[in-house]
């Protein structure tokens, strides 16, 4: 399988997976590719950034000090050789969304820092009044809380005190 970043005649950018480079060319020649934004069937490959794995990332242990999250997006198959293109938000859209999320959490929840595990468990056990909190937890502690059924979720950003 190969992933291409594609672009239509209206400058909309999106991604799609293909069985091979030949499969892309065959579908393009047959006019079976279309833009998910505007429906244009004039679709070409766009400049892509290569995906490079570094030794640092491959050697990273899942047992890091802080929790991390990732998402996986699947899409239904459009053709035996290609999948439906997934819409790609721009970096500006993603940054705006994360900024809005951070602002909402900071305004509506209390930052408890490294005391997050203790306070979350106390609220779950009824020993402390329930309220919205956010903070930091070690990977093992976060995993144990999830396994115990506590309603927690990793956040896609670091606390401001850790940002330079």
Give the pLDDT confidence score for residue 69 in this predicted structure.
Answer: 36
Give the pLDDT confidence score for residue 94 in this predicted structure.
Answer: 79
Same domain, 70 and 108: no
- What residues have CB less than 8 Å from 85, skipping those under 6 apart? 6, 14, 15, 16, 35, 36, 75
Same domain, 140 and 70: no
Same domain, 8 and 83: yes
Domain boundaries, position 138: 91-162
Lowest mean pLDDT among 12-16, 29-33, 84-88, 94-98: 84-88
Lowest mean pLDDT among 1-5, 33-37, 70-74, 90-94: 70-74
**What pTM was estimated for this model as a whole?**
0.45
Give the pLDDT confidence score for residue 156 in this predicted structure.
Answer: 82
State the CB neighbour count (10 A cutoff) for residue 8. Answer: 22
The crossing angle, in degrees rounded to 10, of helices 116-124 and 139-147 is 10
Same domain, 72 and 105: no
Give the pLDDT confidence score for residue 89 in this predicted structure.
Answer: 64
Q: CA 68 → CA 43, 59, 62, 113, 124, distances in Å?
A: 36, 15, 9, 16, 22
Same domain, 12 and 83: yes
pLDDT in tens, 49-70: 666 666 665 554 444 444 333 3
Task: Record the tokens describing residue 72, joined without a space.
Answer: 């996986």
Same domain, 123 and 109: yes
Same domain, 95 and 154: yes
Q: Given a cut of 50, is residue 77 above it in pLDDT?
A: no
Number of domains in the chain: 2
């Amino acid at each position: 399988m190969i992933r291409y970043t594609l672009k239509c005649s209206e400058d909309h950018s999106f991604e799609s997976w293909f069985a091979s480079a030949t499969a892309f060319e065959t579908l393009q020649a047959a006019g079976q590719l279309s833009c998910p934004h505007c429906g244009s069937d004039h679709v070409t490959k766009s400049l892509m950034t290569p995906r490079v794995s570094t030794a640092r990332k491959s050697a990273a242990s899942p047992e890091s000090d802080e929790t991390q999250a990732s998402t996986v997006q699947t899409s239904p198959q459009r053709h035996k050789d290609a999948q439906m293109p997934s819409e790609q938000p721009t970096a500006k859209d993603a940054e705006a969304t994360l900024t809005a999320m951070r602002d909402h959490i900071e305004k509506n929840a209390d930052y408890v820092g490294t005391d997050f595990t203790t306070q979350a468990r106390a609220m779950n056990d009824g020993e402390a009044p329930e309220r919205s909190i956010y903070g930091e937890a070690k990977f093992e502690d976060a995993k144990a809380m999830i396994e115990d059924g506590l309603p927690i979720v990793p956040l896609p950003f670091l606390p401001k005190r850790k940002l330079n």
